Structure 1
C-alpha cells in the first residue's frame, strides 16, 4: 500500500468539489472563490498523507468544444500537480438536478480529454444528498435512468455519497476513504501515468501563451501612453460632454447587467427585445447606454428574429461614441463565433470597428491570470476580433454594483482614449483592409425559408423561460421541485414543416440549436443554485419559518429572476428612455 494517497477532484461547476476537498481533509475553507486553476492541498487521514488536487469545474451541459482552452489545459495539468501521478480521480456530481444525456456527454467528454484510461481509476462522489429524501444511493442511480447508469458503469459502478452538511459524525468521509483505499488496492497501488509528451507540449504551449500575453499587454500599455501624450499636447478635451454607448452581444452575455453596472443603478426594465435607452450621470458626466436585443452565439445572422436586426440598426441613431461588444469568459471562442459576429456587425458598416471595444464579462473566471492570457490561449479567432477592435478591450470582473467602481472608471477612460484614437485614424486602417473580404461576403442564395426556423427558435426560447419562471416560483428551502428531464432535442427537425436542407446540414443545425440551449441551461442551473443558497440562508435566520415566510422568499426569487434573467428573447418591451438625471427625478 502506498505511503501517500494522491487524488484529483473533477466535476462540473457548482458540483461541490471544493467543499468535498476541504471537508475530506478537515481543512477550513477560507472563501467561496471560484476554482480557476489547479489547487494542491495536503492533509493526513489515519496516519496516511493525502495529496488532493482541486480543479476548475466545467459547465455540466457544455460540450467539450464549448469549454475554454484555459479550463481544458488545467484538466490535463492536474495529473502532473501530484507527481508521479494520482492514485484516483474523484468525479463529483450533485443529485439535485436531473441527469440528462447532455450531462453524461459533458462528463465523458471532459474526463476523456484527460485520458481514455481515466475510468479505471475513477470514483463518483455524489453531493447535495438532502435532495435524495428517503432514497439510498443505489435507488437514486436506478431511478435516475440509463444516462447516469451508463456513466457509473464506466467507473466500474464505484460511487459514494458525501454531503458536507450532513456528515456530522464523519461516517461519509470514512466511507469515501475506504472506497479510495479499496480502488488503490485493486490497482495494486498503481498511479495514473500521464502522457509525458502531452504534458511537455502543454508546458511549452503555456509558456508561449504567457509570452504572447505579456507582449500584448505591453503593446496596449505603449499605445495608451502615446494617446495620453497626444492628449497633453492637444487642446483641452471636453470630458464633460455627453457620452453615448451601445451594447451588443450574444444571448446570455450579460448586456443588461453591464448597463446597470455602468450607470450604477438598479435600472428595472423588461428583458431586451427592443432597444432600451437608459440615461444616468457617471462621475459628473451624462452617459447614455443603449441595451440591444441579442444575436445567437451558434446560429447565423439569417436566423435572428427580424426585430433583433432592426433594433440594432435603430440603436445606431444617433451615432454612438462607443460600441461595446460583450464576450463572456466562461465559454470558448472559435472561428465559428468570429464568423457569426462578422455577419451581425456587417450591416453597421466597415468603419464600425473604429469605435468598437470588446468588453469581457464573467471576469471572475480568470482567477490570477491576466485577460491577455485568455485572449492568447483561445487562439486566432479571438485574437483577430480583438485586433479588429484596435486591440481595445476591458474586463468586468464582477457584475455587482456593490463592488468597487474602479472597473467602470477604467472602462470610461478607455472609451475616451478610443474616441481620441478614432479622430486620428485615416479612412481605412490595416485591420479593416485585411478583413474587408470577409465582411463583404454576399448572403448565400441557398438561405431560404428562414422564417419557419426563426419562429420556432423564439417560441422555444419563450417556452424555456416560462419553465424557469415556474420552477423558481415553486422553490423553497424544504423542497426542490423538478420539472422533468432536460430537453435533449430542443426543436423537432424531423417533420416536413421545415426543409432544413435549404439552410444548412440538418445535423449541423440541430447541433447549433442544442448548444444554444445548453448555454441557457448552464445559466439557469447556476441561477437555481444561487437562489437555493439564498433561501437556505434565509431559513437559517429563523428556526421556525412559517408558510408565509416561504411564500415571501419565493416571491423574492421570482422578482430576482424578472430583473436579472439574461435572455433577450421571449418578452415585449418598448423603446424606453429611462432618464436618471437629477433634473428628471425632480
Structure 2
C-alpha cells in the first residue's frame, strides 16, 4: 500500500482537518454530468471549466476554515462500455488519486437527474471498479445534479432500478444538487456534512497500491517517448516533399463508420454546410458530392455511407457496399486522397481495425497509398497531442497509421479558423508528391462491374416497391369494400 497516514479527525463534528475529494462521472452526447459545476460549488468559486474536462485537475480552497482539495476528472461516455473509453481518458481517471496525496477521502460519483436518459449509465460501475477498485464504493457518494429545482425528485432515484443500484453500491449515500442555484449555500453544506459522516465511518483516506502507481507512471513515460518518436518520424518522412504541387483540382473521398464525423469533416473542408449532419443518428444511404473553392483550389468532396458501428464487412448491406465502390466514379478520374474518418471520443479496438480493413477491400489495394487517417472531435484531446493518443490506444491504431504510411490529421469541427484545413491540404499535396502526382484508380472494369450491379439492384428495388404499392392499394380497397380489387395481390 502507498505510504502515508489518514488525516487527523478533529473538531466538534469530527470532520477531517483537511479534505480531499475526487469527482467522477459520465457524460451523454452534448450533456455533461455537472461534475465541474459540483466542484465549483464545493470550492465556492469557479475553479474548474464547465465546458469539457479532458485532463484530471486539482484545485484547493479554504472552506469553513479547513483546506479542501477537489480533483475533477474527464468523464466517460455513458453509453459506451469501458473497453470503448479512450485509453488516455482511462489513464487520467486512474491518475486522479495521485493528485491529492496521500489519497482522497471521498469519491463523488456525479450523474444528471433531469435528462431523458437518466439512469442509463450502465457503464458507471464498470468504470469505477476496474479503473480504480471496488474499495472506492466504501468512500463514494452519489450526487445527482439538476439545473432546475422542479426536477429535484428523490422519488425517481428510488423508482429507477439503475439509480437505485448505484446508490446501494454507495451504501445508500446520495445527495441531489441544484447546480444552477449558486446562492443556496445550504445544499452544499448538507452535502459536506454527508461527506464528513462518510469519511468518519470509512476511517481515513483511500490508499493506492504503490506498484499500481509506478505502473501508471511508467506507462505515461512510454507513451510520451513513443509519441515523440512518431512526431520525429513524420517530420523525416515529409522533409523535402513539396508543400505545393501546383494542383488546382483536388478530389477527396471520405470513408468511415457511421457517426465518425465524416459529413462534418466534409463541411469543414468546404467551409460550409453542404453535407447533412444528422442529430438523431440517421445516416446517409447514398454517396453525396459537394464542391467548392478552398485555398485557391477547386475541391471535390465525396461522402460515402458509413458502415454500421464497428461491424465487419459481412454485416454491411449490398447497397452500401455498392455505394462505397461506386463513390470513386463520382470524382473522375479518381480521388487524390481517401480520408479514413476515426472519432476520438471512443477507443480504437480490434473490431474497428477489422471493420476498416475489410471495408477498404471494397476498393483496390492501392487505395492505402492514397489514405490519410482523419481524427475527428479533436477538442476531446485537450492539451494532449494526437501522437500521445495514438500511442496510448495501442497496436490496432498503430497498425492503421503504419498501413497509411503514418499519414494523419486532426479536425476540431467546432473550430471556425481555416488553419486546420490548409494544413490538411498541405499533407495531401505531400502525399500526392510521394505518389508521383497520381490519383487513386480502381480500374475501368471494376467501375463498370460495380455500376452494372448497382443498376440491377436499383431495378430490383423499384420492382419490389411497385409490388408493395399494388398490395397496399388492394388492401385499402379491401377494407373499403371494393370487391373488384380484393384479390389483386400479384
User: Which bin holds the TM-score, normalised by the shorter protein?
Assistant: 0.7 to 0.9
Match of 1:160 in 2: 175
Q: Does 1:140 align with 2:156?
A: yes
Flag the 1:184–1:269 CA change in 2: closer, same or farther, 3 A.
closer
SS at match of 1:310: helix
**Structure 2 unaligned spans of 5+:** 1-8, 10-15, 278-282, 441-490
Aligned equivalent of 1:172, options 187, 209, 219 = 187
Shift of 1:394: 0.1
Aligned equivalent of 2:57, options 24, 34, 39 = 39
Aligned equivalent of 1:411, options 413, 417, 424 = 424
Contact map agreement 1:167 1:173 (CA 8 A) in 2: no
Q: CA RMSD in A?
A: 1.9
Aligned equivalent of 2:233, options 219, 227, 230 = 219
Shift of 1:29: 5.2
Q: Does 1:7 align with 2:25?
A: no
Match of 2:273 in 1: 266
Shift of 1:316: 1.1
TM-score, length of structure 2 as denominator length: 0.81
Residue deviations 1:268-315, cap 9 Å, x none? 548521110101000121000001100123221111122211111111
> 2:116 and 2:126 mapped to 1: Cα distance?
19
Match of 2:338 in 1: 323
Aligned length: 412
> 1:269 and 1:8 mapped to 2: Cα distance?
40
> 1:64 and 1:31 mapped to 2: Cα distance?
25
> 2:206 and 2:225 mapped to 1: Cα distance?
31
Residue deviations 1:418-451, cap 9 Å, x none? 11111289x9xxxxxxxxxxxxxxxxxxxxxxxx
Q: Does 1:423 align with 2:441?
A: no
Flag the 1:32–1:405 CA change in 2: closer, same or farther, 3 A.
farther
Match of 2:3 in 1: none
Residue deviations 1:188-220, cap 9 Å, x none? 3x1001121111111101100100000000110
Residue deviations 1:239-278, cap 9 Å, x none? 3x21110000111011111111100012254852111010
Shift of 1:142: 1.7
> 2:112 and 2:195 mapped to 1: Cα distance?
19
> 1:184 and 1:269 mapped to 2: Cα distance?
52
The answer to which structure has the higher helix fraction is 1
Match of 1:237 in 2: 245
Residue deviations 1:470-510, cap 9 Å, x none? xxxxxxxxxxxxxxxxxxxxxxxxxxxxxxxxxxxxxxxxx
Q: Does 1:110 align with 2:127?
A: yes
Contact map agreement 2:324 2:362 (CA 8 A) in 1: no
TM-score, length of structure 1 as denominator length: 0.68
> 1:238 and 1:146 mapped to 2: Cα distance?
63
Contact map agreement 2:147 2:179 (CA 8 A) in 1: no
The answer to which structure has the higher strand fraction is 2
Shift of 1:371: 0.3
Flag the 1:334–1:157 CA change in 2: closer, same or farther, 3 A.
same
**Structure 1 unaligned spans of 5+:** 428-586
SS at match of 2:178: coil
> 1:130 and 1:356 mapped to 2: Cα distance?
48
Match of 2:196 in 1: 181
Shift of 1:112: 0.5
Contact map agreement 1:9 1:91 (CA 8 A) in 2: yes
> 1:47 and 1:131 mapped to 2: Cα distance?
29
> 2:422 and 2:42 mapped to 1: Cα distance?
43
Residue deviations 1:506-526, cap 9 Å, x none? xxxxxxxxxxxxxxxxxxxxx
Shift of 1:238: 2.1
Match of 1:336 in 2: 351
Contact map agreement 2:310 2:352 (CA 8 A) in 1: yes
Match of 1:83 in 2: 101
Matches within 5 A, 1:428-577: none
Contact map agreement 1:260 1:266 (CA 8 A) in 2: yes
Match of 2:287 in 1: 275
> 2:434 and 2:259 mapped to 1: Cα distance?
30
Shift of 1:67: 0.3
Residue deviations 1:42-90, cap 9 Å, x none? 0111101001100000011211111011111111111111100000000
Aligned equivalent of 2:298, options 258, 265, 286 = 286
